[in-house]
Structure 1
Amino acid sequence: MSHTLRRGVLAAALAGAFILAVPAAASAHVGVSPDRIPPGESTLLTFSFSHGCEESPTTALRVTMPEGIGGAWPTFDSDWSADIEKTAGDKVSAVTFTAVKPVPQGLRGMVGLTVITDKHAADELVFPVEQRCVTGANEWTQVAKDGEDPHSLDAPAPVVSLAGAEAADATGHGDQDGAAGAAGDDPSTSALPLVLGGGGLAVGIVALVLAIGAYRRR
């Protein structure tokens, strides 16, 4: 294989590795699933993460309830414990999930909350999360402003939209924030990291085929 061809193959491989790294970087936050729920119904929300505070393992997640949550019940397995904070009106205001063993950087951790909304719930529910680690902490509290790309935020809070908000906007009873939230959940946008990852894999495969072909020609 010529020196020039080797350099070309190496460049293609590095480009593929860079593209594959994009989804990993984009996933550096605390996510919530599902991100759209029916109003007034009991729904299990799963909060997940796959990173610590830089390299420090995660010891706890404190999830704060937004206005509009009529009830909340923590759901977790034997790897976690939970402490519930309540308001004077006996409503759950926050839940702290503590790991029995710290979750190392790079491993996926998950906890759950079964929630039900009340009639005062907004079209979008923001759940601020404090991620506590052996060393340091992360505050996932940022919310995108009008016209701002949520993916550009350094520390985005998990956001859940209420199903049916689009219908309210169509009848003139919704607000602009609800419409913006619906647009932000465009499947083509949420699928972007997967598309980029697939593109990176394709580049790597093409580079390998070129290298093998050049070797056989020699």
Structure 2
Amino acid sequence: MSRITRRGALIAAIAAGLVLAAPAAAQAHVGVSPDAVEPGGSAVLTFAFTHGCEESPTTALRITVPEGLASVAPTSDSEWDIAVERADNGLVSAVTYTAVTPIPSGLQGAASMAVQLGEDAPESLAFPVEQQCEIGVNEWVEIAEEGADPHDLDSPAPVVTVAAAAAAAAESRTDAAHAEHSDAQEQTSEAAPAGIILGGAGLLAGVAALVVSVLAYRRSA
């Protein structure tokens, strides 16, 4: 292999490594699912991650609960010890999930809580997360400004959208499906009498042909 060929192969390998590393870096955050809830609705929110602090195993997640939730119930899980903090009004203000066994970087960890949205819930709910590790801490607390792309942030907080538009769209799709089903039923009902008439006409024609055949046979006999 010539020197130029070897140099080209080396450059290609480095470029490929950078391409593979970029998505991995972009995915290094704490995500939440589902990321949209209907106004006044409820959901079980799952906060998941697949990384530590650099390569250090994760020992705990402290999730700050935003205002606008009527109730919060952390999910009991054998993987976590759970501690709940409450505000002066008695509502849950933060939940700390401490891993029974530290979660190595590269394995998925997940903690969940059931939430009920209040009537005063804003259009989006941010859940800042402090990821504690055996060595180091990750603060997932950044919130994108209006019109900005949250994927451009270095340490984005998990965000749940209060999706009135999504709920309306789902209702519209349901109404459209019902209307289509009703149209199909009407078409079937309209087609039924025509089918009966045509079927009866065919039966009469068959009987008439049979009579003609019998008379013709008798005459020939």
* TM-score, with length taken from structure 1: 0.70
Point out the more displaced range, 5-14 or 17-26: 5-14
User: Structure 1 76/50 Cα, relative in aligned 2: closer, same or farther at 3 Å?
Assistant: farther
**Aligned equivalents of 1:142 and 1:12: distance in 2?**
35
Given that 1:29 and 1:155 are in contact with CA atoms closer than 8 Å, whether structure 2 keeps it comes out as yes
* TM-score, with length taken from structure 2: 0.69
Identity value in percent: 56
Q: Which runs of 5+ in 2 are unaligned?
A: 169-221
User: Structure 1 167/40 Cα, relative in aligned 2: closer, same or farther at 3 Å?
Assistant: closer
Superimposed CA distance per residue, residues 4-45 of structure 1 (whole angstroms, 9 cap, x where no aligned partner):
334333433332222111110001111111111122222111
Given that 1:42 and 1:115 are in contact with CA atoms closer than 8 Å, whether structure 2 keeps it comes out as yes
Q: Which amino acid aligns with 1:102?
A: P
Point out the more displaced range, 157-166 or 41-50: 157-166
RMSD: 2.0
**Aligned equivalents of 1:148 and 1:42: distance in 2?**
27
Given that 2:53 and 2:135 are in contact with CA atoms closer than 8 Å, whether structure 1 keeps it comes out as yes
**Higher relative CO (CA 8 A, sep ≥ 6), structure 1 or 2?**
1
Q: Which amino acid aligns with 1:137?
A: V
Q: Aligned residue for 1:105?
A: 105
Q: Aligned residue for 1:151?
A: 151
The alignment of Structure 1 onto Structure 2 pairs a total of residues equal to 168
Q: Where do residues 73-88 of structure 1 align in structure 2 (5 Å cutoff)?
A: 73-88=73-88
**Aligned equivalents of 1:123 and 1:18: distance in 2?**
37
Give the CA deviation at 1:3.
4.1
**Larger radius of gyration between Structure 1 and Structure 2:** 2
User: Structure 1 167/78 Cα, relative in aligned 2: closer, same or farther at 3 Å?
Assistant: closer
**Aligned equivalents of 2:21 and 2:74: distance in 1?**
33
Given that 1:76 and 1:111 are in contact with CA atoms closer than 8 Å, whether structure 2 keeps it comes out as no
Q: Aligned residue for 1:45?
A: 45
**Aligned equivalents of 1:146 and 1:164: distance in 2?**
18
**Aligned equivalents of 1:4 and 1:85: distance in 2?**
63
Q: Which amino acid aligns with 1:111?
A: A
Q: Tell me, what secondary structure is at the counterpart of 1:43?
A: strand
**Aligned equivalents of 1:123 and 1:62: distance in 2?**
23
Divergent runs of 4+, >6 A: none
Q: Which amino acid aligns with 1:48?
A: A
Q: Which amino acid aligns with 1:34?
A: P
**Aligned equivalents of 1:154 and 1:55: distance in 2?**
17
Superimposed CA distance per residue, residues 109-157 of structure 1 (whole angstroms, 9 cap, x where no aligned partner):
1111111101100000010111112223222111112343322222111
Q: Aligned residue for 1:162?
A: 162
Alignment pair present for 1:139 and 2:139: yes
Alignment pair present for 1:4 and 2:26: no
